[in-house]
Amino acid sequence: MSEQLKKAKHIDVDEKSKLSDLEEFREYPEGQFLTTNQGVRVSETDMSLKAGERGPTLLEDFHFREKLTHFDHERIPERVVHARGTGAHGYFECYESMAEYTMASFLQEAGKKTPVFVRFSTVVGFRGSADTVRDARGFATKFYTEDGNYDLVGNNIPVFFIQDAIKFPDLVHSIKPEPDDEMPQASAAHDTFWDFVASHHENAHMIMWLLSDRGIPRSYRMMQGFGVNTFRFVNKAGKGRFVKFHWIPKLGVHSLVWDEAQKLAGKDPDYHRRDLYEAIDAGHYPEYELAVQIIEEADEQKFDFDLLDATKIVPEEQVPLKIIGKLTLTARPDNFFAEVEQVAFCPANVVPGIDFTNDPLLQGRLFSYLDTQLIRLGGPNFHEIPINRPLAPYHNNQRDGYHRMTINRGKSAYFPNTVGNGDPRPASREERGYVHYTEKVEGKKIRARSDSFKDFFSQATLFWNSMTGPEKTHIVKAFHFEVGKVKSLEIRQRVTDMFANVDPELGRMIAEGVGVKVPAPKAPQKKSKLDKSPALSQLNKVPDTIVGRKVAILAAEGVKASEVEQMKKAVKTAGASAEVVSKVQGLHKGSDGGEVMVDKSYVTTGSILYDAVFVPGGKQSVETLKSHGDAIHFLNEAFRHCKPIGAMGEGVDLIKASAISGVSISGEGKGGIVSDKGVVTARDETDLIAFFERFRKAMAQHRHWDREKKEAVPA
């Protein structure tokens, strides 16, 4: 087993026998000859075989034909949804035995590690769309367990648009680019989608999440994941319990601001992908804790919503989260196509101890994913692609088909048989054979919806009531953008009337922003048992860390090189990174005799690519920066996006020269340091350690939303 594979899969050496099938598919071209797909060494690959130097190409040139034929067929159909994505290898470590609740092998003992592959994605856009569009994000995890592959296929939002999977084609057709002109790309801000929304009130809760800050995450590393549907845990005794899955990022849940997200789509459309890979390369491995909500079957009916309704959450105040393990991503793919594009997830891929419920959205997903993969990956053998192969051995009587790679031995391909000694044979429950949960099912064949599914607004209201002031403001502005793009006044009015059911004040604010009548106040159809759930607000869960953050240091010739160096060291010690940004790249001589290497120019970067900005001292440097419009814009834009800003010595003068106002940037604070609204300044020589700690705390807060009350920041 190669060191590369051990790193990618993070497997203990004593498990190497399970990896032999995967290793044989990895190619290492270093020091090798160029060959055909049949292993024949090639002597020439730049010129085709011709009849004379200027003659026609000969059909017998097998290398030419193979090379061009393979190239002609390199593209496979992109996913209908979740086409734009990225992935990483890692491992899952169990914190404690969950044997009381489930017989799933990867949850049986504390410290047990299971290799995983995770794919993050946007939902709506094509493969070439930008990472930072407003959208739900996929969070799919493939566990390579000893009992086979288990796929936990979810999103970064815990609910969904629809209650029944039969509506999924309608939903996707409505949100995709409109069929007459194929616009807009990767956006819900158009007539057909909002027509669908106004026609299906069941999606009110999902829309509230989508138009919140959750729709524009800062990073895949700072994004929650949810299983969305209700599943079952089943233990060895056959006892079942309902379970909801949550992934909780150790770095906290953070988002972009809308102006920033739009600009990033142009400046770096690969922003989230690049951020993930840079963090892994730097050793800042993304971590997520797995939490579950476990509900006894006897308690199924105790809620004021239906557990099988995928448009509802189970509030943490009613069923607390139990943290049971941690996911760590440790390696980027070796080959993006072979792994990220060809990985196939399916919620029907379960292992003993995990089972399904009658959630009608989940029931449709169990069929649809497999059906899609059959055509997208060219037939029934996609499970033999290395990234999809289980580490557990597999034996069955399935044969042939497109792209078959297994060479099956023996005479029989049926069961029962005598010519093959009856093998392979079914396994009993005691032999860890999968046994479906025993559930009594009866009823008339009917196309209907349970009355328990007909509450569409109470949890949307709960979500709205749980938001802080800044979060509510962002939701309203998102409505103004999304619905404001709708051409039909009639659809705008219907959407506004619909969300007045969530909250009359919300309806009023939407109406005022999109030019329609303010809806008449409406009595709530049904209230949630909870008035609010603080756990739903991102701002209530901000950990004190800056791991993986990026700081821009603005500099020019004559900068204080010692302050730049000290800031870089302090940032690195805290698990973050810093880059020097200037008008041009190259070396700058410092006023104190040192030198500073410029990492990025204003042309190649922007404040939107950083989490904070620092301006060191150096009179010549600051005077030069004052004359650079790009430097002033960099600072103003960061301030407008509510990011932390720090300045020392003459660097404070650059802040004064910008449009930043309404904060204290002069005078004497403790230790000569002033900190106000995330702007940390020190006019005179001061203790850099104390300064950095103030700056670090401002960064850990992520954003300083009180600045949004200002309208006069040009950026």
Of the candidates 226, 10, 2, 16, which has an alpha carbon nearest to the alpha carbon of residue 114? 10
Is the Cβ–Cβ distance between 668 and 608 less than 8 Å?
no
3-state SS track over 158-197? CCCCCCCHHHHHHHHHHHCCECCCCECCCCCCCHHHHHHH
Distance CA 626, CA 492 (A): 46
Radius of gyration of the chain (CA): 28
Distance CA 240, CA 242 (A): 7
Is the Cβ–Cβ distance between 387 and 362 less than 8 Å?
no
DSSP H or E run through 695? helix 688-700
Residue ranges of E strands in 547-693: 550-554, 577-582, 586-589, 595-598, 600-601, 612-615, 645-648, 673-676, 679-682
Is the Cβ–Cβ distance between 206 and 159 less than 8 Å?
yes
Q: Which of 10, 63, 89, 155 is catalytic?
A: 155
Instruction: Name the token pair of 184.
Output: 């807009």
In the block, which residue shows the tokens 């999968």?
434
Is the Cβ–Cβ distance between 250 and 544 less than 8 Å?
no
Assess whether 272 carries a catalytic annotation: no
Instruction: Name the token pair of 477.
Output: 């502005």
Beta bridge partners of 114: 92
Q: In Å, what is the CA distance from 680 to each residue of 269, 542, 546, 667?
A: 31, 20, 16, 12
Of the candidates 104, 201, 76, which has an alpha carbon nearest to the alpha carbon of residue 434? 104
Residue ranges of E strands in 606-658: 612-615, 645-648
3-state secondary structure at position 579:
strand
Is the Cβ–Cβ distance between 365 and 408 less than 8 Å?
no
Instruction: Name the token pair of 394.
Output: 């597999």
Other CB atoms within 10 A of residue 411 CB: 7
Q: Which of 63, 82, 190, 704 is catalytic?
A: 82
Of the candidates 272, 368, 333, which has an alpha carbon nearest to the alpha carbon of residue 80? 368
Assess whether 155 carries a catalytic annotation: yes
Is the Cβ–Cβ distance between 344 and 382 less than 8 Å?
yes
Distance CA 108, CA 94 (A): 8
CB-count burial class (<10 Å; 0-12, 13-18, 19+) for 686: middle
All residues at 6 or more sequence positions from 587 whose CB lies less than 8 Å from its CB, including other chains? 595, 596, 597, 598
Phi–psi pair at 144, nearest 5 degrees:
-90, 80
Would residue 82 be called left, alpha or beta, if left means φ above 0 and alpha means ψ between -120 and 50 degrees? left
Strands 85-94 and 595-598: unpaired
All residues at 6 or more sequence positions from 221 whose CB lies less than 8 Å from its CB, including other chains? 249, 251, 275, 276, 279, 286, 548
Direct distance between the N- and C-terminal alpha carbons of the chain, in angstroms, rounded to an integer: 53
Of the candidates 460, 574, 540, which has an alpha carbon nearest to the alpha carbon of residue 506? 460
Please give the positions annotated as active site: 82, 155
